[in-house]
Structure 1
Amino acid sequence: MKNRLKELRINRGLSQKNLINEFNLFLEKNLNKYVGQRGIRQVTSATESRWENGLNKPTSAMWQALSDYFGVNVS
């Protein structure tokens, strides 16, 4: 099974570190959109790596934030 998060990151020409930095900045700038939603927090390199390797999955709220960041549907 292909990893959509990794595919989106690579298509944007981002390293994992760049994605983490840009996504965390995106969360800071859009925090009011996600206020009160559980599971929205800054992403570490370990977390992003586990997502890409299928060891963990983002929460549904974090999936929404990721889809907003990449400009794609959650599905």
Structure 2
Amino acid sequence: MRLTREQHDAIVAHAQRDAPNECCGVIVVSGAEAVAVHELENLAASPLRFEVDGLALHRLLGEVEDRGDELGA
């Protein structure tokens, strides 16, 4: 998948903000192109593991599918 510089920078900034804890998020794709990055909160707030809100992830995936896109990562 191909990321734009802005998408890459957003992911790096998220990781730096959440350090030393794991950061969580998803990359939405259309074909081979990343079309969006979404940050998710790490409920575990741990450098060793992550946990996301299942309902928030479910809602996001529904929106992604409604647009005809897919979860890339």
| Same fold, judged at TM 0.5 (above) | no
**Which has the higher Rg, Structure 1 or Structure 2?**
2
Q: Which has the higher strand share?
A: 2
Q: Which has the higher helix share?
A: 1
The TM-score with structure 2 as length reference comes to 0.30
